[in-house]
Structure 1
Amino acid sequence: MADTLDKILGSPYRVKIMKLFLMNPGEVFTPEYISKSSKLLSRNTRKEINFLKNLGFIKSGIREIDILISKTKKIKKKREPGFQLNQLFTYNRGLRSLLIESAPISRELLMKRFRELGRGLRFVALSGIFVGQEIVGDSRGLDIMFVGDNIGRLKLEKVVGKIESELGKELKYVLFDTNEFKYRHSMYDRFVLDVLDNEHDVLFDSLQAGV
Structure 2
Amino acid sequence: MRMSERAFLTFFFFFPILEKGENVFTVSVFCNDCNPMSLVLFDSLFGSKARARLIRFFLLNPGMEFGTATIAEKTLISKVETTRELARLAKMRFVVEHSRKGRRLFAVNEDFPFHTELKSLVSKLNVHAQSQVFRKVKVIGEVKLILISGLFINYAKGKVDMILVVNNLNRTKLKRAITLLEAEVGKEIRFVLMNSEELHYRLNMLDRFFIEFLEGPYEEVSNKVPELKRFISGLKK
* TM interval, short-chain normalised: 0.7 to 0.9
Residue 206 of structure 1 deviates from its aligned partner by 1.8
Instruction: Say yes or no: does 1:148 pair with 2:171.
Output: no
Residue 106 of structure 1 deviates from its aligned partner by 4.2
Cα deviation digits, residues 25-53 of structure 1 (max 9, x gap): 11111111111111121111110000000
Cα deviation digits, residues 68-88 of structure 1 (max 9, x gap): xxxxxxxxxx78440111111
Select which of 214, 221, 230 maps to 1:196: 214
Select which of 20, 43, 48 maps to 1:11: 48
Structure richer in strand, relative to its length: 1
Instruction: Name the stretch that deviates more: 186-195 or 10-19.
Output: 186-195
Paired residue type of 2:120: S
Paired residue type of 2:124: S
Does the 8 A contact of 1:20 with 1:168 survive in 2? yes
The 5 Å alignment of 1:72-83 reads 80-83=103-106
Does the 8 A contact of 1:127 with 1:144 survive in 2? yes
Distance in 2 of aligned mates of 1:17 and 1:58: 10
Residue 104 of structure 1 deviates from its aligned partner by 4.1
TM-score (norm 1): 0.81
Does the 8 A contact of 2:68 with 2:104 survive in 1? no
Instruction: Say yes or no: does 1:97 pair with 2:123.
Output: no
Distance in 2 of aligned mates of 1:41 and 1:79: 22
Residue 110 of structure 1 deviates from its aligned partner by 3.2
Residue 178 of structure 1 deviates from its aligned partner by 0.9
Does the 8 A contact of 1:104 with 1:167 survive in 2? no
Structure 1, unaligned runs of 5 or more: 64-77, 136-140
Select which of 91, 108, 127 maps to 2:149: 127
Distance in 1 of aligned mates of 2:209 and 2:173: 24
Does the 8 A contact of 1:148 with 1:175 survive in 2? yes
Residue 133 of structure 1 deviates from its aligned partner by 2.5
Cα deviation digits, residues 57-109 of structure 1 (max 9, x gap): 1011367xxxxxxxxxxxxxx784401111111222222232x3212434312
Distance in 2 of aligned mates of 1:155 and 1:112: 12
SS of equivalent to 1:129: helix
Distance in 2 of aligned mates of 1:103 and 1:113: 20
Identity %: 25
The 5 Å alignment of 1:22-61 reads 22-61=59-98
Distance in 2 of aligned mates of 1:50 and 1:4: 17
Distance 1:3 1:41, change over 3 A: same
Distance in 1 of aligned mates of 2:150 and 2:98: 29
Structure richer in helix, relative to its length: 2
Distance in 2 of aligned mates of 1:158 and 1:11: 23
Structure 2, unaligned runs of 5 or more: 1-6, 17-45, 233-237
